[in-house]
Amino acid sequence: MGNFRFHQYQVVGRALPTPSDEHPKIYRMKLWATNEVRAKSKFWYFLSKLKKVKKSNGQVLAINEIFERKPTKIKNYGIWLRYQSRTGYHNMYKEFRDTTLNGAVEHMYNEMASRHRVRYHCIQIIKTATIPAKLCKRESTKQFHDSKIKFPLVFKKIRPPTRKLKTTYKASRPNLFM
């Protein structure tokens, strides 16, 4: 699976060296953005909230995309976020099961939008982590921690194999039993 909307970047930057401070401290951030340009912009947004440095008196030293180490392994991701609702800011912790962190982050944005009507720009990701199965807190992820998992697919949606073969009217009612 390759096509992610959100990519994880590592941005490294510092303030520009001045006569009074020859070697300013270098800061590194890992963040999610749709592309590198946005990643750099986000970096300055967060950094200027934490340290006294702005884009105009700083420099980005490196920006690298971080790829998933083992995209074929299913992991439980815990995401801590801060979001703005209509009434104020809240913190939240969500768990997702996915093979890649980018996929889990995309899932998170979609879920926040659908369940809480919170859009992309109102969400800040505080922290993400891979959680071992023992430490998962949500029942909906824990129910898949079963090595002998078995469930039936309850109803079969009949779909034409390509969208070209789609028709508005069908000759007979479909059989939905799996």
Chain contacts with another protein (rule: CB under 8 A): 1, 72-74, 96-99, 140-141, 144, 147-154, 156-157, 159, 161-162, 177-178
CB nearer to another protein: pick between 28 and 73: 73
Report whether 60 contacts 38 (CB < 8 A): no
Tell me the closest approach of the beta carbon of residue 137 to another protein, in angstroms: 16
Give the full edge-to-edge strand order of the sheet including 58-66: 26-33, 7-15, 58-66
Tell me the closest approach of the beta carbon of residue 109 to another protein, in angstroms: 16
CB nearer to another protein: pick between 32 and 95: 95
CB nearer to another protein: pick between 27 and 98: 98
Say which DSSP state 161 is in: S
CB nearer to another protein: pick between 86 and 148: 148
Non-local CB neighbours of 27 within 8 Å, separated by 6+ positions: 12, 13, 14, 47, 50, 51
Tell me the closest approach of the beta carbon of residue 44 to another protein, in angstroms: 35
Burial of 160 (0-12, 13-18, 19+ CB in 10 A): exposed
Tell me the closest approach of the beta carbon of residue 133 to another protein, in angstroms: 12
